[in-house]
Amino acid sequence: MPASVTRDVPVRPPRALTVIGVLGGAAILLPFVALVAGVDLTRLPRLLTSPAALDALGLSVRTSLAATAVCLVLGIPLALTLTRLEFPGRSVARSLVLLPLVVPPVVGGIALTEAFGRRGLVGEHLHVLGLEIAFTSTAVVMAQVFVSLPFLVVALEGSLQTRGEAHERTALSLGASPARTFRTVTLPLMAPGLLAGTVLTFARALGEFGATITFAGSMQGTTRTLPLQVYLERETDPEAAVALSLLLVVVALAVITLAYGRKRVTIS
Amino acid sequence: MRRALSALAAVSALATTGCTGGPAAQDSPAGDVTLTVFAAASLSDVFEEIGEDFEAEHPGVTVRFNVAGSSGLVQQITAGAPADVFASADEPTMARAVSAGAVSGEPRPFASNVLTLVTPPDNPAGITSLADAAAEGVDLVVCAPQVPCGSATATLAGDAGLALDPVSEESSVTDVLGKVTSGEADAGLVYVTDATRAGEAVHTVDPDRARSAVNTYPIATLADSERAGLAEAFVEHVLGTQGQEVLRHAGFGHP
């Protein structure tokens, strides 16, 4: 395309589409505006500093950080394997990795119970060894890893595919070992996807609800994360639920700003 | 900016009209009447059956149910969800609907429910009493104190002089049952009716003093109902011989 002709013409979508786009934005933002409007500011400090709320926040942050770390350890090699290794059934494998993104989290929770529950496929053997996962914070982290790992893998795959293999091939042909090539070439290539992916992974882990309540249970300080606390407060104290929801939104907003605010990062 | 604002206004207008046309919108053909009943989650199966009987007695009437946790239902009703009848799992929750002015007339008790102890069918922890279930090392699952079955649990434990040490406090009685039927928990406290419904999937241990914590279920017609006569007829049906028989069969007690 002759760049000189098109360079100075700003690209604009048709006006009608912009109007619909604004409606789309409102569909996302309006509920949050209503949430903020529904907060009782005089009660807010007390609601947010109740022992139950602080326990839930602390647990949520700790488990989400742990889940993000596990996702990085597992997700980087997984994304590399899926993009850089030729093997039969690779495209099927790449689709399967996305399953937790599309199944309802409660289904994920049931699947985790079938696998790691006391009578599960793997859990049965762990139980014999005296390892119990259900009703522990470990179960919370496992549920979070299950639902958020695909976010990291998708982001990393995106980076790896857009940048191509040329740089790595050059490094290898110049005699660098695969390990050195990974460290000095592949990893930096992944950087943009890694940042965005890590942020999304953390945010998804923080918001995890369905798989956690199904697989891990709900106990203050051990398994009752912030989303579970919101769900429970809703029963008796809707105002407390609104206040805690606001807290989750603020944390999520902070996380997104941290990653996307510095510079625009595309994830695919 | 002005355009953005008017778009926002349009969206909120849509949202408002969407709300009034909500779950009880009349989409039935002319001549037919739809009665909307909001019922506590533990009533789901038994009210389906009562609804079918009521429809058989009242040709042209369709009974629709919105089944959820009682507290959530009160929120929906006070937020203006169109409903004709409300049946709650306990009296404090119904009292909230009454004080919000959503109820017409007096709520009437129509059933009661008590807690029972359930274990997986093979009872892996060998539980024979509530004290066994409260022992250390036993994975006991109960309802959180915030929900009706959880306040009944607290009453039961208090009467038995036991400090329960649960591994999980669930948001609904069905979640407690799920943890027991899947074998994750050694024991759980659920309603007798849940244990009846679960059948072979659980082993029931009737704890001492279980009868001390009784939840009474009240039913009431709602102030905003446009079919007050029919709503009243449904309440009468639930309180009548046929309705009560269905409730007894499902394990509910006398009010």
**Domain containing A192 — which CATH number?**
1.10.3720.10
In this prediction, residues B76-104 reach a mean pLDDT of 92
- Tell me, what amino acid is at B77? I
Cβ separation B147–A218 shorter than 8 A = no
Q: Are residues B83 and B125 in the same domain?
A: no
Judged against a pLDDT cut of 90, whether residue B146 lies above it is answered with: no
Can you list the residues of chain A whose pLDDT is less than 70? Answer: 1-7, 261-268
Reported confidence tier of residue B209, pLDDT bands at 50, 70, 90: low
Question: Mean pLDDT over residues B144-164, rounded?
Answer: 88
Please check whether residue A36 lies inside any domain of the structure. Answer: no
Q: Are residues B82 and B69 in the same domain?
A: yes
Q: Which of A217, A233, A235 sits opposite B179 (nearest CB)?
A: A217
Residue B181 domain-assigned? Answer: yes
CB contact under 8 Å between A117 and B167, yes or no, is no
Task: Give residue ranges of A with CB < 8 Å to any B CB.
Answer: 19, 22-23, 26-27, 30, 113, 117-119, 134-135, 213-214, 217-220, 223-224, 228, 231-236, 238
Residues B118 and B199 in one domain: yes
Question: How many whole angstroms separate alpha carbon B30 and alpha carbon A75?
Answer: 58
Cβ contacts below 8 Å, chain A against chain B, sum to 77
pLDDT for B20 equals 39
Q: Do A135 and B167 touch (CB under 8 A)?
A: yes
pLDDT tens, position by position, B62-80:
999 999 888 889 988 988 8
- What integer best gives the mean pLDDT of chain B? 85
On chain A, the residues whose CB falls within 8 A of the CB of B141 are: 217
Same-domain check for residues B100 and B226: yes
Q: How many domains does chain A have?
A: 1
The shortest C-alpha distance from A244 to chain B (Å) reads 16
**ipTM over the 0.85 cut-off:** no
Note whether residue A128 is domain-resident: yes
Residues B108, B230, single domain; the answer is yes
Domain that holds residue A193: 46-260
**CB-neighbour burial class of residue B123 (10 A; exposed 0-12, middle 13-18, buried 19+):** middle
Q: Is 50 exceeded by the pLDDT of residue B3?
A: no
- Is residue A24 in a domain? no
B220 in the same domain as B210: no
Does residue A133 lie in a domain region?
yes
Domain that holds residue B118: 113-214
CB contacts under 8 A, B 66-125 vs A, are 69, 71-72, 75
Between B151 and B238, the more confident residue is B238
pLDDT for the residue numbered B208: 62
Whether B160 is in a domain gets the answer yes
Q: What is the CATH number of the domain that holds B223?
A: 3.40.190.10
Contact between B183 and A220 using a beta-carbon 8 Å cutoff = no
Residues B204 and B152 in one domain: yes
Q: Which residue of A236, A237, A239 is the best one to mutate when testing the B interface, meaning the one whose CB has the most B CBs within 10 A?
A: A236
B79 and B194 both lie in a single domain: no
Same domain, B53 and B91: yes
**Chain-chain contact of B167 with A220 (C-beta, under 8 angstroms):** no
pLDDT of residue B14: 40
Does B134 reside within a domain? yes
How confident is the model at residue B19, as a pLDDT? 39
**Structural domain total, chain B:** 2
Does residue A3 belong to any structural domain of this protein?
A: no
| Domain shared by B197 and B129, yes or no | yes
| Domain-located, residue B254 | no
Residue B21: inside a domain, yes or no? no
pLDDT tens, A9-44?
Answer: 788 888 899 999 999 999 999 999 999 888 888 888
Nearest chain A residue to B167 by CA distance is A135
**Is residue B81 in some structural domain?**
yes
Does residue A28 lie in a domain region?
no
Q: Cβ neighbours of residue B19 under 8 Å, at least 6 residues apart?
A: B80
- The per-residue pLDDT for range B231-255, each reduced to its tens digit, is 999 999 999 999 999 999 998 998 8
* B168 contacts A219? CB cut-off 8 A: yes
Q: What is the pLDDT of residue B7?
A: 43
Please check whether residues B160 and B93 belong to one and the same domain.
no
Which of the four pLDDT bands, split at 50, 70 and 90, describes residue B1?
very low
CA distance B217 to B98: 14
Does residue A20 lie within any of the structural domains?
A: no
User: Which residue in chain B has the smallest CA separation from A23?
Assistant: B7
Map chain B to HEC letters: CHHHHHHHHHHHHHHHHHHHCCCCCCCCCCCCEEEEEEEEHHHHHHHHHHHHHHHHHCCCEEEEEEEECHHHHHHHHHCCCCCCEEECCCHHHHHHHHHCCCEEEEEEEEEEEEEEEEECCCCCCCCCCHHHHHCCCCCEEEECCCCHHHHHHHHHHHHHCCCCCCCEEECCHHHHHHHHHCCCCCEEEEEHHHHHHHHHHCEEECCCCHHHCEEEEEEEEECCCCCHHHHHHHHHHHHCHHHHHHHHHCCCECC
Residue B194 lies in a domain: yes
Please report the pLDDT score of residue A206 as a whole number.
93
One domain for residues B39 and B85: yes
Would you call B8 an interface residue with chain A, using a CB distance cutoff of 8 Å?
yes
Query: Does a structural domain hold residue B12?
Result: no
